[in-house]
Amino acid sequence: MGRTSSLRSALKSIFFPHVEALGYVIDKSHQPQFTVFRRQSGSEVHMFEVQWDKYGRSRFIINFGKAPAEGVFVQGESVGPGKLEVHHCRPWLRLQRKRGGSMRCWFQLRRPLLEQVLSLSREYTPTEVAQSVVLSFQEVEAWLSSGVKGPHVHSLGTDA
């Protein structure tokens, strides 16, 4: 059993059904480090990806954005709606445990140090992490519908 297995399993059983109920469809052709979801919403495609730590540590972040339903042109080539990825969006943002640019801000099992001391527990359970992602995902939906950034949303660039 790998280091991320329990957390991946919790996301699959708690978070994935939640977003599928919101109309997102998982892209089955994903790489192990990324799990991509898309949904058609009027004249836009909403998408997000669960990006896992590249070194196999049990942490992840959610990148998200929206693009025109007809697709986009990237370096002179047309990318259709079924092939759109988050990095094609302008802007694209991140949903994370807290604001900031370091990997300590990513969703993960390890609690922040002060919380470890206060709770006398080094880690969250995988279920607790998955449930916190479900609650935080409301901020993704708020940004996609009205452009409002919540406390767990981090901008990646000046146009966000």
Residue 68 included in any domain: yes
- Whether a cis peptide bond, with omega within 30° of 0, leads into 17 is no
Question: Which of 87, 1, 107, 7 is CA-nearest to residue 47?
Answer: 87
Residue 94 included in any domain: yes
Residue 99 included in any domain: yes
Backbone angles phi, psi at 78, to 5 degrees: -80, 130
d(CA 16, CA 130): 9
Residue 160 included in any domain: no
Q: Does residue 139 carry a pLDDT above 50?
A: yes
Q: What is the mean pLDDT of the chain?
A: 89
Residue 95 included in any domain: yes
| Cα-based torsion angle of the residue sequence 30, 143, 101, 79 in order, rounded to the nearest 10 degrees | 40
Residue 51 included in any domain: yes
Band the pLDDT of 129: cuts 50, 70, 90. Answer: very high
**Beta carbons of 154 and 99 less than 8 angstroms apart:** yes
Over residues 28-64, the pLDDT tens digits come to 876 778 999 999 988 999 999 999 999 989 999 999 9
Residue 49 included in any domain: yes
Overall number of domains in the chain? 1
Over residues 69-101, the pLDDT tens digits come to 887 877 777 877 777 788 878 788 999 998 888
Q: Does residue 105 carry a pLDDT above 70?
A: yes
Residue 12 included in any domain: yes
Its domain, for residue 37, covers 5-155
| Cα-based torsion angle of the residue sequence 39, 132, 61, 98 in order, rounded to the nearest 10 degrees | 120
**Beta carbons of 61 and 107 less than 8 angstroms apart:** yes
Ordered alpha helix ranges (H), the chain: 5-10, 16-21, 113-119, 126-146
Tally the C-alpha atoms within 13 A of residue 63's C-alpha that lie toward its C-beta: 18
pTM, whole model, 2 decimals?
0.89
